Structure 1
Amino acid sequence: MNLEQRLNELSINLPASSAPGAKYATGVVHQGLAWISGQLPREGERVLVAGKLGREVSIEAGQEGARAAFIRALAALRDTVGDLRGVDRILRLNVYVNCTEDFSQQSAVADGASALIYQIFGAEKGAHARTSVGVAQLPRNACVELDIVVALDA
């Protein structure tokens, strides 16, 4: 599968990734795995979906935020490894949901990113391990932040 071609077919344009704001790497490659740091649902410096799930952000808007953050993670992956030709599959997805303490549908929010992974990679290579947790706050009041672990072709 040519990942860049598949993204083109789905009309997904990867944004330019930005350098981290502190002393850490956007991504690290080690022994055939790429670990991509947390990504927010941003366009440039603007957070696309801000606020708390269970208060001012709907599950559907949270899912769109998760989708946008995953697209940024793919852009960070591209910039970490040089291009997307060597990407085999997403192994792990961690989704952090900015939510009220009584909100319990973090998994439904994470489904926005998981559904996109399946759409891009297909059922066989789209299967991934996942954790979704609620948190009290995220940077820039983003509704979600996510990170990924990716298998690269040998």
Structure 2
Amino acid sequence: MSLEERVKALGLKIPADATPGANYAPAVLHGGLAYVSGQLPREGDHVFVRGRVGSDVTLEAAQEGTQIALLRSLAALKETLGSLDRVTQIVKLTVLVQSAPGFFQQSIVANGASDLIYRLFGQEKGAHARTSVGVDQLPRNGAVEVEIVAAYD
């Protein structure tokens, strides 16, 4: 089963468009690695999950936001590589969380994206290094931003 078929089997959808919001590339290929620009949980100009996690946004909504942002990351990879089946490993996941004062569960928020990576890529290709960070603000008031690095052939 191809990666895109697994996405559909989970009832999810990879966005058709990963156009960046400004003058930068959605992903850059170098030395066998694809560096995907940070992605908000958005489609077009609409950001689905906005605000500070821990006050405006629930933990569960933030986890869903990381999944939406991860799917946008996959759209950027598909656009850049031509096929997601070229991905041989998810190397690194970084999740930025717009956090309310006193919110310390950034790693739990990041689990939303990590868990989806494992469901889509399996243990072998999905095992990844990870960083989750609390920040004061994100572009467009997004609750989360996801960045990945993937190896490809």
TM-score above 0.5? yes
1:44 corresponds to which letter in structure 2? G
Which is further off, 81-90 or 59-68? 81-90
Q: Does 1:29 align with 2:29?
A: yes
Percent identity of paired positions between Structure 1 and Structure 2: 56
1:3-152 correspondence to structure 2 within 5 Å: 3-152=3-152
Q: Secondary structure at the match of 1:151?
A: strand
Q: TM-score, normalised by structure 1?
A: 0.93
Extract structure 1 runs of 4+ deviating beyond 4 A: none
1:20 corresponds to which letter in structure 2? P
Residues 3 and 87 in structure 1, CA contact (< 8 A), matched pair in contact too: no
Backbone CA RMSD of aligned residues: 1.3
Listed as ranges, the gaps of 5+ residues in structure 1 are none
Size of the aligned set, in residue pairs, is 153
| 1:37-92 CA distance string (max 9 Å, x none) | 00000122111110101211111111000111001100111011112121112110
Q: TM-score, normalised by structure 2?
A: 0.94
| 1:119-146 CA distance string (max 9 Å, x none) | 1111222211000000000011110001
2:47 corresponds to which letter in structure 1? V
Listed as ranges, the gaps of 5+ residues in structure 2 are none
